[in-house]
């Protein structure tokens, strides 16, 4: 006996009765066949489920539409007008891409993705997607990036775009152009959700829907009228991000979320599952995860055939035909389809005897059938307690003619010949409005129905009824934010006295204090991926409450403790579990709420430094494109400050990666007061001060990246001479040379490297009689960017007195050679190397290479960033400058027992 099913795990209380049931089944199979038997089995399962008899969920259903014809909702639209509009949009989308490539060869663009999904979008636009004109945020729609031409084509029909803009598809530089894909950064009044890096749109949409529930449960905003729609490709489902969080959507009961997977069976190079069936595979995955799955496989033309399929032969053929074959049928003739699909079985062939070859070729797929699509969308919006995925089977390149449709190369086709365009014109039946002779010209024309035409009136009326056009991005603040008072920040400026604390602890204190401030507090969204205890933030569980849509249904094991694990429906903390990707998606949802909902929210995403930029860099890039605001806190930062962990944990390079993101404000604070100053300034820059009552609206579209260390030391008070501006601009003098010494050199520290710098300062005075001054560099990225700005200005404004970069001007008041030390790679301080004042040397000590597990002390010696190496580097720089004897360097190397036995680089 094989143990392969749950039945073997249950006790048989009445074997005789069991036997009778089995005999009945055998009899049905023998007398009526397997199809009938399968039907009865399904019926029994259905009845069992109705009567609350728990049976394991089946993950697969037959390869037919989920919604039977007799339960299909009635289509309320005007069939003819909608067909006309779809045809115009299809035509314009294709012509836009073709023309763009005529004008500038190689400019790119895609014809086939939208051609496959036009009906999927149009049914949404005409009947479901809510806009913003009603004063509410409406729906969030994630468009498939490569379908962008279709969205532009529709906006053109709505008179939101004009012909010159379509002409400038993918030509943005001179203004008034259209971006290749949905980029809110580049078209801030149009696109809302960046999607084109595959997989990111899907995961972001899940957390967007989840965040809407969070806002609702926390009584911050009523999101009940907003639905999240996400369109994605079937090939895109191979990205781990796409499917990686679908169980969360089901667990959280996100019935405000609908995914539409455009199953055109193809990706860029070829079939998605040539030897299998992508729709069936996805159905199993989604059903297993707890989603409501609606398959839209066959168009209405198949209804009659399926109804007459009493033997189940058609169903069998559908179930057993692989996607590669289905793709083949798309490009073959009706005769071929008759022969190969219907042919082998005489019963199947008889089923289509009454149909011509042309009829067979034209039997459409469900994803092109607006009635089937409408019924699916309607069912999705009526579903309660679970998200819905619609698996719509389409043809890639549909209507674009036999050279394009379903060809393996179709994804990248962007040119059409005159003959192909003429054929498209007839296929779409737009030959009445687009005369033959104009297509013969250099550039085929767009067509837009006049404002008083029935088509235009219908189009506009539908959008009016659904609260205006989409996509559309606005930044109208509906619920202003109240800025926090200064007290929580000032507290940190006072320093920690004799108490040794880390910048992480100081940040936690700030976070708690901010959360307690009226007005502002509830707008904070702390996000942590299962790492709060590592950062000493477990106190926040109880204090903030962990958001749990179902509340806490158990008494926590630590309920009696002060710091118990407390979940609640209005909890504030998003404890995401081990998913930096999901956490980043939450950050994006919260950080863009000022725009999507007009409700500024302030995310603080606190994570293991190493698993930020390195792990989810592309999601950070997309957040930047989406104009997300908020704070990314890289805890356990530094290659040597986090001790013991080693190569996979010690982060010495996230600041290099951060330097690549344009809107990222990257800071590496050494002290609590620096961190507080950056956060205070960040809040004001991002959320902006707009009126006397302290109510704020939209500020700059930037976000902050701050390192937080876990090394404890006494946090100094902010020196009186140091202003917030000094800290924010990235560099300031922290301490002069010790009393009684002239300043002979300058040591610039950042982050936890301040300790080595300070010890070196003392040692240089004590052992060498040399005075050095100490500077704090909070942001090399900021220094570099400001320097590049002045450099450019000077280059383009020829003058004998070029503008001096701020970093150069600042360092001009320092003395001697400059030595920078960091717990990050040398490339971080090297960002300003070009801007050091003339005649001064600049050397950098940093932590290049893989981490190691060891103590801080050993690590810093290994990476040559400890006090001894700072001292040696300073002496070496002074010796290079001729200020001291070389022997002083050699003495220091010896005194510290530094191993200088290195391979000679010239012999490598």
- Which parts of this chain interact with ligand TPP (CB under 6 A)? 113, 116, 144, 146, 196-198, 233-236, 262, 264, 266-268, 272, 396, 411
What DSSP designation does 365 have?
B
Identify whether the C-beta of residue 774 lies closer than 8 Å to the C-beta of residue 671.
no
Helix (H), strand (E) counts: the chain: 36, 22
In this structure, how many other beta carbons lie within 10 angstroms of the beta carbon of residue 479?
A: 15
Structure tokens at 546: 């962990």
CB of 114 to ligand TPP, least distance (A): 9
Identify whether the C-beta of residue 90 lies closer than 8 Å to the C-beta of residue 84.
no
| Residue 701, binding choice from Mg ion, ligand TPP, none, Cβ under 5 to 8 Å by partner class | none
DSSP 482-551: EPPPSHHHHHHHT--TT-EE-HHHHHHHHHHHHHTSTTTGGGEEEEESS-TTTTT-THHHHHH-EE-TT-
Q: 810-822 burial, b for 16+ CB within 10 Å, e for fewer?
A: bbeebbbbbbbbb
Nearer to ligand TPP, 166 or 198 (CB): 198
Nearer to ligand TPP, 260 or 537 (CB): 260
CB of 905 to ligand TPP, least distance (A): 39
| Residue 146, binding choice from Mg ion, ligand TPP, none, Cβ under 5 to 8 Å by partner class | ligand TPP
Instruction: Give which of 810, 854, 240, 834 is closest to 579, Cα–Cα.
Output: 240
Identify whether the C-beta of residue 477 lies closer than 8 Å to the C-beta of residue 698.
yes
CB of 635 to Mg ion, least distance (A): 40
Nearer to ligand TPP, 395 or 628 (CB): 395
CB of 202 to Mg ion, least distance (A): 14
Residue 677: C-alpha distances to residues 591, 810, 888 (Å):
20, 19, 40
Residue count of the chain: 908
Q: Which of 216, 234, 405, 576: binder of Mg ion (CB under 5 A)? A: 234
CB of 195 to ligand TPP, least distance (A): 9
| Residue 197, binding choice from ligand TPP, Mg ion, none, Cβ under 5 to 8 Å by partner class | ligand TPP
Beta bridge partner(s), residue 748:
775, 820
Nearer to ligand TPP, 202 or 471 (CB): 202
CB of 722 to ligand TPP, least distance (A): 44
Element spanning 715, H or E: none
| Residue 502, binding choice from Mg ion, ligand TPP, none, Cβ under 5 to 8 Å by partner class | none
CB of 241 to Mg ion, least distance (A): 17
CB of 85 to Mg ion, least distance (A): 24
What is the Cα–Cα distance from 296 to 299, expressed in whole angstroms? 8
Q: Which residue has its beta carbon closest to ligand TPP?
A: 233
In this structure, how many other beta carbons lie within 10 angstroms of the beta carbon of residue 339?
A: 13
Residues 6+ apart with CB under 8 A from 465: none
CB of 631 to Mg ion, least distance (A): 37
Nearer to ligand TPP, 233 or 529 (CB): 233
Nearer to ligand TPP, 235 or 471 (CB): 235
Backbone φ, ψ for residue 631 (5° rounding): -120, 125
Nearer to Mg ion, 115 or 664 (CB): 115
Q: Is 202 in the site for Mg ion (CB under 5 A)?
A: no
| Residue 113, binding choice from Mg ion, ligand TPP, none, Cβ under 5 to 8 Å by partner class | ligand TPP
Structure tokens at 749: 């520290």
C-alpha distance across the termini of the chain, in Å:
67
Angle 561-567-570 from CA coordinates, rounded to 5°: 130
CB of 552 to ligand TPP, least distance (A): 38
What is the Cα–Cα distance from 417 to 419, expressed in whole angstroms? 5
Write down the H helix ranges in 593-752. 593-596, 613-625, 654-658, 672-687, 724-728
| Residue 504, binding choice from Mg ion, ligand TPP, none, Cβ under 5 to 8 Å by partner class | none
Instruction: Give which of 769, 700, 778, 716 is closest to 741, Cα–Cα.
Output: 769
CB of 262 to Mg ion, least distance (A): 6
Nearer to ligand TPP, 266 or 778 (CB): 266
Q: Is 233 in the site for Mg ion (CB under 5 A)?
A: yes
Nearer to ligand TPP, 115 or 599 (CB): 115
Nearer to ligand TPP, 157 or 203 (CB): 203
Nearer to Mg ion, 256 or 266 (CB): 266
Tell me the Cα Rg of the chain. Answer: 33
Q: Is 184 in the site for Mg ion (CB under 5 A)?
A: no
What DSSP designation does 566 have?
-
Nearer to ligand TPP, 266 or 701 (CB): 266
x-marked contacts with Mg ion along 256-275 as a string, rule CB under 5 A: --------x-x---------
| Residue 525, binding choice from ligand TPP, Mg ion, none, Cβ under 5 to 8 Å by partner class | none
| Residue 198, binding choice from ligand TPP, Mg ion, none, Cβ under 5 to 8 Å by partner class | ligand TPP
CB of 233 to Mg ion, least distance (A): 4
| Residue 196, binding choice from Mg ion, ligand TPP, none, Cβ under 5 to 8 Å by partner class | ligand TPP
| Residue 256, binding choice from ligand TPP, Mg ion, none, Cβ under 5 to 8 Å by partner class | none
What is the Cα–Cα distance from 627 to 591, expressed in whole angstroms? 8
What is the Cα–Cα distance from 745 to 816, expressed in whole angstroms? 4
Structure tokens at 475: 């930044």
Nearer to Mg ion, 235 or 526 (CB): 235
Nearer to ligand TPP, 114 or 211 (CB): 114
Secondary structure class of 888 (helix, strand, coil): helix
CB of 296 to Mg ion, least distance (A): 15
Q: Say how many residues touch Mg ion, by CB under 5 A.
A: 5
Q: Which positions from 235 through 254 interact with Mg ion, judged by CB under 5 A? A: 235
CB of 231 to ligand TPP, least distance (A): 9
Identify whether the C-beta of residue 506 lies closer than 8 Å to the C-beta of residue 625.
no
Q: Which residues bind Mg ion (CB under 5 A)?
A: 233-235, 264, 266
């Amino acid at each position: 006996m094989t143990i392969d099913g749950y039945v073997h795990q249950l006790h048989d209380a009445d074997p005789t009765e069991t036997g009778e049931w089995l005999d009945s089944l055998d009899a049905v199979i023998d007398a009526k066949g397997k199809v009938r038997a399968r039907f009865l089995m399904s019926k029994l399962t259905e009845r069992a489920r109705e009567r609350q008899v728990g049976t394991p969920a089946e993950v697969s259903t037959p390869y037919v539409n989920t919604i039977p014809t007799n339960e299909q909702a009635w289509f309320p639209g005007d069939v003819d007008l909608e067909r006309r509009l779809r045809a115009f949009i299809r035509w314009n989308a294709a012509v836009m891409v073709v023309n763009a490539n005529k004008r500038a060869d190689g400019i790119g663009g895609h014809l086939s993705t939208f051609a496959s999904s036009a009906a999927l979008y149009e049914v949404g636009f005409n009947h479901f997607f809510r806009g913003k004109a009603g004063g509410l945020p409406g729906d969030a729609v994630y468009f498939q990036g490569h379908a962008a031409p279709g969205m532009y084509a529709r906006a053109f029909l709505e008179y939101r775009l004009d012909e010159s803009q379509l002409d400038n598809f993918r030509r943005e530089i001179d203004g008034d152009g259209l971006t290749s894909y949905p980029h809110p950064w580049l078209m801030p009044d149009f696109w809302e959700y960046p999607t084109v890096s595959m997989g990111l749109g899907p995961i972001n949409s899940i957390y967007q829907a989840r965040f809407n529930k969070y806002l609702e449960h926390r009584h911050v905003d009523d999101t009940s009228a907003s639905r999240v729609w996400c369109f994605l490709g079937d090939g895109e489902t191979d990205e781990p991000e796409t499917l990686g969080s679908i169980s969360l959507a089901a667990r959280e009961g996100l019935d405000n979320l609908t995914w539409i997977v455009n199953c055109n069976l193809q990706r860029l190079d070829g079939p998605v599952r040539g030897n299998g069936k992508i729709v069936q595979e996805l159905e199993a995955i989604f059903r297993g995860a707890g989603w409501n799955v609606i398959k839209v496989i066959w168009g209405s033309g198949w209804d009659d055939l399926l109804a007459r399929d009493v033997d189940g032969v058609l169903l069998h053929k559908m179930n057993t035909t692989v996607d590669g074959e289905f793709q083949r049928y798309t490009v073959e003739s009706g005769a071929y389809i008759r022969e190969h699909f219907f042919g082998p079985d005489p019963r199947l062939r008889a089923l289509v005897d009454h149909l011509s070859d042309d009829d067979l070729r034209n039997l459409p797929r469900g994803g092109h059938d607006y009635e089937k699509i409408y019924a699916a969308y309607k069912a999705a919006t009526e579903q309660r307690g679970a998200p819905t995925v619609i698996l719509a089977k389409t043809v890639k390149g549909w209507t674009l003619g036999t050279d394009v449709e379903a060809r393996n190369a179709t994804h990248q086709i962007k040119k059409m010949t005159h003959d192909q365009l003429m054929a498209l014109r007839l296929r779409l039946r737009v030959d009445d409005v687009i005369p033959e002779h104009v297509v013969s010209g250099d550039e085929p024309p767009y067509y837009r129905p006049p404002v008083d035409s029935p088509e235009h009136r219908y189009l506009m009326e539908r959008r009016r009824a659904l609260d205006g056009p989409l996509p559309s991005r606005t930044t109208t603040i509906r619920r202003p934010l109240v800025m926090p008072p200064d007290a929580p920040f000032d507290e940190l400026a006072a320093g920690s006295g004799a108490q040794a604390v880390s910048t992480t602890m100081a940040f936690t204190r700030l976070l708690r204090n901010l959360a307690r401030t009226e007005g502002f507090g509830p707008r904070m969204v702390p996000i942590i991926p299962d790492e709060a205890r590592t950062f000493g933030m477990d106190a926040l569980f109880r204090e903030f409450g962990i958001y749990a849509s179902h509340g806490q249904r158990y008494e926590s094991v630590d309920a009696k403790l002060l710091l118990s694990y407390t979940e609640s429906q209005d909890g504030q903390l998003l404890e995401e579990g081990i998913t930096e990707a999901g956490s980043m998606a939450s950050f994006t949802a919260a950080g863009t709420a000022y725009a999507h909902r007009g409700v500024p929210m302030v995310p603080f995403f606190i994570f293991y430094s190493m698993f930020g930029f390195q792990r989810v860099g592309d999601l950070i890039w997309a957040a930047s494109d989406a104009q997300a605001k908020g704070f990314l806190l890289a805890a356990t930062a530094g290659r040597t400050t986090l001790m013991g962990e080693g190569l996979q944990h010690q982060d010495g390079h996230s600041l290099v990666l951060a330097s690549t993101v344009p809107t990222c404000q990257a800071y590496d604070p050494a002290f609590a007061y620096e961190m507080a100053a950056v956060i205070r300034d960040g809040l004001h820059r991002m959320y902006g001060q707009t009126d006397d009552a302290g109510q704020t609206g939209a500020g700059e579209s930037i976000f902050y990246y701050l390192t937080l260390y876990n090394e404890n030391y006494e946090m100094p008070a902010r020196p009186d001479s140091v202003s917030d501006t000094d800290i924010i601009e990235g560099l300031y003098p922290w301490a002069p040379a010790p009393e009684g010494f002239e300043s002979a050199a300058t040591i610039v520290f950042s982050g936890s490297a301040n300790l080595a710098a300070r010890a070196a300062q003392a040692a240089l005075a004590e052992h060498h009689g040399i005075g050095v001054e100490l500077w704090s560099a909070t942001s090399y990225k900021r220094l570099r960017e400001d320097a590049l700005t002045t450099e450019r200005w000077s280059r383009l404004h020829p003058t004998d007195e070029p503008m001096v970069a701020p970093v150069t001007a600042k360092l001009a008041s320092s003395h001697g050679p400059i030595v920078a030390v960091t717990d990050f790679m040398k490339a971080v301080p090297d960002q300003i190397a070009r801007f050091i004042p003339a005649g001064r040397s600049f050397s950098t000590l940093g932590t290049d290479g893989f981490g190691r597990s060891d103590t801080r002390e050993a690590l810093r010696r290994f990476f040559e960033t400890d006090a001894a190496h700072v001292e040696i580097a300073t002496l070496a720089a002074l010796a290079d400058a001729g200020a001291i004897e070389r022997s002083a360097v050699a003495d220091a190397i010896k005194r510290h027992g530094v191993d200088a036995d290195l391979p000679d680089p010239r012999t490598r």
